[in-house]
Amino acid sequence: MTVRDEGFKLPQVHEAWLPREHSLHRPRHGKRQFVALISAIAFFATPLAAWTLGARPVAFENREIVAFPSLADGFAFFTKLPQWATDHLVFRQDAVHATDWISETFFGEPVPLDGGNGGGGPVPANPIAPPAPTEPTGPEQVLPPDSSGFVKVVQGKDGWLYFGGDAQSKCQPAQPLDRTLAQVNRLRSIVERSGRKFVLVVAPDKSTVVPEKLPDSYPGRDCSRQPNADFWARFVAEAGAVDLRPQLAAAAAEVKHEVYHRQDTHWTDEGALVMTRRLADIVQPGVSRTWVTEVERTWKSTGGDLAALMGRKGEMSGTRYRLRPDGTVDRTRPIGTKFPEPLTLRTAQGPGMVAPRVAVLTDSFSQAAAPYLAATFANLTLQNYLDFAKSPEAAAATIAGQDVVVVQMVERNLAAGGGTLVMPQFLDRFEQLLPPRR
């Protein structure tokens, strides 16, 4: 007779303790598991210990470190969390530099940089509101999210670096050039109907002004050529854009070096002075005849937004100038801001000074020009056009007291679609609110 014990169960054992012949047997990889465990502890504990001892993450990609996401963001809280965690990893900058050194030293090539829509880097195009094309996640981006094949940084000849968005903005614009032209001209019409002068100044892309340092082959080389030619021909002829390319070439010939930085996407002070002089003479013809510029000092430093995108420190150098509008008194002064809010600068009237009240809606290209604009425009208001376009009400209030409205926008932003500043939603409301010139 068989006695059955209903409560009998086999003892629970680890799968590694089962007989090798058992189908569920899994060997314990003791040494490898131990190494993995130690590595994981070191990976997470070392930055934590360093943070406890005072080490802090640093911003090295030409953008602010991402803030901790808010629970009010809803599901976006979870999608933003990984970038926050990445940015706040202590020693990340050193890890990026080490990776770049290993790739260059042992493989003879840079770390691959994809064309993702991250938030760092030089002024890409700015966001546009629906019903425009899908808005990517990175700030100031108007390029389509499917950007496979493009790179963030193009490595040129003799150590020159270029922003990949220069080509991508022409190859993959967010909207047709015809539509962008129509929207820019509508903005011009709104301003001019209010009794004010409108000036559109295009800061050329570095790849447009210094093409000889580009590599023989790079993503977007072929597909950007014709759109680049069409952009300049049509924006100058149909939108009245100020074309600085001839003056920039003349300035480079005079100082015997390029007027764009080698490892940064922006122009040098010589380029900034070209824009300042041209703009002043447009607003008040002949005003710059008395101007005198002279070298104040030369400088060198680490930096460069393109080098930062590659995880490198980079090298920067340049020349600061004194600008004497009347030929005698130097009126240049440092302007340490990116103009998120309207900044009004007033200077005493006199020979060589631009008298009308002028608002310049800028991007980062005007930061180098700000000391020279402040030296020569007696009543000047500066604001970044990305922030300007956030509120039509505030924008109308800023323009209400102006005689002239200048929009300074980098070439790639206009080529990609112009962004919020020329979107119908902003223009409709701005037109309703803008009062006539007093």
- pLDDT, position 165: 93
**pLDDT for residue 102 is more than 60:** no
Per-residue model confidence as pLDDT tens digits over 243-256:
999 999 999 999 99
Give me Rg for the CA atoms of the chain: 28
Cα(288)–Cα(281) distance, integer angstroms: 6
pLDDT class for 95, splitting at 50, 70, 90?
low
Contact status, residue 405 vs residue 199, Cβ threshold 8 Å: yes
- pLDDT, position 37: 72
Whole-angstrom CA distances from 128 to 182, 306, 422 are: 16, 24, 9
| Closest by CA position to 438, among listed 401, 391, 383 | 401
Cα(149)–Cα(139) distance, integer angstroms: 21
**pLDDT for residue 59 is more than 50:** yes
Find the angle CA(39)-CA(41)-CA(43) to the nearest 5 degrees: 65
Query: Which two tokens mark 247?
Result: 């003056």
Q: Tell the residue number behind the tokens 């977007």, with chain if given.
A: 220
How many CA within 13 A on the CB side of residue 265?
Answer: 28
* Length of the chain as a residue count: 438
- pLDDT, position 336: 79
Cα(97)–Cα(311) distance, integer angstroms: 6
- pLDDT, position 44: 67
- pLDDT, position 89: 65
Cα(115)–Cα(117) distance, integer angstroms: 7
Q: What is the DSSP string of 25-45?
A: -----HHHHHHHHHHHHHHHH
Find the angle CA(400)-CA(404)-CA(405) to the nearest 5 degrees: 80
Can you name the residues that pair with 293 across neighbouring β-strands? 323
Min mean pLDDT across 24-28, 68-72, 122-126 is at 122-126
Per-residue model confidence as pLDDT tens digits over 3-52:
555 555 656 766 667 776 676 666 665 566 666 777 777 766 776 676 67
List phi, psi (to 5°) of 247: -70, -35
Q: What is the DSSP string of 91-126?
A: THHHHHHHHHHHHHHHHSSPPP------S-SS--PP
Counting other chains too, the contacts that 89-95 makes at CB distance below 8 Å and 24 or more residues apart are 89/47, 89/57, 90/47, 90/50, 90/51, 90/55, 90/56, 90/57, 91/46, 91/47, 91/50, 91/55, 92/57, 93/58, 93/60, 93/311
The percentage of the chain sitting over the pLDDT mark of 70, rounded to a whole number, equals 70
Query: Which two tokens mark 348?
Result: 């005493």
Mean pLDDT over all residues of the chain? 82
